Chains A and B, each alone.
Chain A
Amino acid sequence: MELYHGEPNIFSLKPLIALHEKGLDFTSRYVDFLAFEQYELPQLASPEVAHNPEGEGPILVDRGTAMTESFFITLYLDEAFPDTPLRPADAEGRWRVLTWARFVNEVLGPAVCTLGCRKYLAPALKARDREDIEHAMARIPSQESRAGWRAALEGAYSDDLIADSRRKIGIAVKKFEDALGRSDWLAGGAYSLADIDAFALLRPVPDLAPDLLNAKNAPRVAAWLGRIAARPAVEAALAHSRTGKPEQAFTPGLEHSRWG
């Protein structure tokens, strides 16, 4: 089993945590997402890699299949390797995990990517040779992903988009705060893939929007982030970082809903 991943942040962080939680053997393939080389590796060629809504990765290769979409990779791991289960055993609990994932993917994910790319990716691209970046970008097969990188390259983040992203993060934090008032973990009494999924996207938020997520306005979310960060598997996942600052590593990733 091989995992192609970048810095352990947002999407790449999820399968790394799940693999370590389950104690599975895997080969880590650290990829420079800015070089877009994964699109030219024959073992990864598939429509699901070319049209990955998360963009560059992570990609899990197992049983001859190259799998994208970080949450679905973690779900795969839990179904293929059922020891140390990371989902509730009942249908209701599993439905809750799926609906949380949908919310994280549609509302929180795009908002965090926008703020993260504006703060870290856009300046990082400015420091690089523009022609090199353009040349590398030509490898990206999907028009949506190319548009995301183009926005980062131009620093094209309107005030409306930033305000909308902050609004979405505010909604998400409130929703998590309410849920954690009802149970210790998002899907119920036990830590699950829903917590891993939300944690990976929320971890950079106290840096990106400190006024929207702090111990005062969302004490339960802040404590929950701390509980998850203290888990040995999460520490092991974060140890895959090469920059020492994984929470600053962003790719354009998820699009905002086009319906407004």
Chain B
Amino acid sequence: MTPTLYHWEPNANSGKPMLALKEKGVAFESHYLDLLNFDQHKPDYLKINPNGTIPALVHGDLVLTESTAIMEYVDEAFDGPSLRPDAPEERWRMRWWMRFFDQYFAPSLSMIGWSVFVGPSVRDRDPEELKTAIERIPLKERKIAWSKAIYNTFSEEELAESRRRCAVGTQLLEERLSVSKWIAGASYSLADINGFNLGYAIPLAQPQICNDEKTPRIMAWLRAIYARPAAKATWAMGRTQMAKRVTYLDS
């Protein structure tokens, strides 16, 4: 049964199941939603995922949400190369790092990204249209987040704290990659797929803390992942400039 993935650009949460499916060699129907056009809060999509979050994977009768949990489902439910280590302690490490990315590192990096990128790119739209778009967001947390991004109400203090956390996360990742080639250990895993979706943007957004000189292991790890055919195929599904930025890793 061919699954359908509802997703945006190969970036952050959308990119995680895209890359996992490609690595696994699972054929899927791609349903692109334009996050900046608020497609994810429109009635057609709310019929599929009432929370209005992306990505979502529809497999038979099942509607799966939460990108990291979707990746584990993909690895468990489909044939193809295993994307989780065999050793249980390495699986533990894979999950520890995915949570660290999802709940510590990514929210900080995306707060900076939203204030300099998402906010400005939608702010010049009709104010009434924006107001309606915000009112349609089903989850209170997402409503607050979008309002903050659109009206740029992040305080300088919040942004400074996010920059500090990005520096802590970058340092920790560099340390981890000095112990083993891949995050969980000797094999490429969902933790690397997760980390790449956030990690490819760090040298672009925070070049002063993440570059060939200061974090050579992160840079080598990013290039090694982008050299994989599955990563190339995933980022080729991008439609905007945002996804095309990844090609700096070819050099």
Contacts and interface: CB of A to CB of B under 8 A. Distances in A.
B1 interface: no
Given A48-B96, A63-B87, A67-B92, 19 more contacts: A47-B172, A47-B176, A48-B93, A51-B168, A51-B172, A53-B103, A63-B88, A68-B96, A76-B89, A80-B88, A91-B77, A94-B73, A95-B69, A95-B70, A95-B72, A95-B73, A106-B103, A258-B108, A259-B145
A92 interface: yes
B72 A94 contact: yes
A260 interface: yes
A30 interface: no
A228 interface: no
Nearest to B175: A47
A260 B93 contact: no
Contacts of B72: 94-95, 98
Contact of A260 (B66, B144, B168): B144
Listed residue (A69, A75, A92, A94) with the most chain B CB atoms within 10 angstroms of its CB: A92
A3 to B, nearest CB: 14
Given A76-B92, A102-B66, A259 B107 contact: yes
Given A68-B96, A258-B107, A258-B111, A76 B91 contact: yes
25 contacts: A48-B93, A64-B89, A65-B89, A67-B92, A72-B92, A76-B92, A79-B88, A80-B88, A91-B73, A92-B77, A94-B73, A95-B70, A95-B72, A98-B72, A102-B66, A102-B68, A106-B103, A258-B108, A258-B161, A258-B162, A259-B111, A259-B141, A259-B144, A260-B145, A260-B148
A91 B76 contact: yes
Main secondary structure of the interface of B (DSSP, over half): helix
Interface in B173-197: 175-176
Interface of A: 47-48, 51, 53, 62-65, 67-69, 72-73, 75-76, 79-80, 91-92, 94-95, 98-99, 102, 105-106, 143, 257-260
A79 B76 CA distance: 14
Please indicate which of the listed interface residues A68, A69, A91 has the most CB atoms of chain B within 10 Å of its own CB: A91
A51 B100 contact: yes
Contacts, number: 93
Interface of B: 62, 64-66, 68-70, 72-73, 76-77, 87-89, 91-93, 95-96, 99-100, 103-104, 107-108, 111, 141, 144-145, 148, 158, 161-162, 164, 168, 172, 175-176
A172 to B, nearest CB: 14
A141 B181 CA distance: 25
Nearest to B104: A53
Contact of B66 (A47, A48, A92, A99): A99
Nearest to B147: A260
B104 to A, nearest CB: 7
Contacts of B76: 91, 94-95
Contacts of B68: 98, 102
B95 A72 contact: yes
Contacts of B92: 65, 67, 72-73, 75-76
Nearest to A95: B73
Pairs A-B, 3 closest by C-beta atoms: A91-B76, A80-B88, A91-B77
A197 B86 CA distance: 24
Nearest to A67: B92
Nearest to A60: B92
B228 to A, nearest CB: 24
Contacts of B100: 51, 53
Contact of A67 (B89, B104, B164, B168): B89
A62 B89 contact: yes
Nearest to B90: A65
A69 B73 contact: no
Contacts of B64: 95
A27 to B, nearest CB: 18
Contacts of B96: 48, 67-69, 72
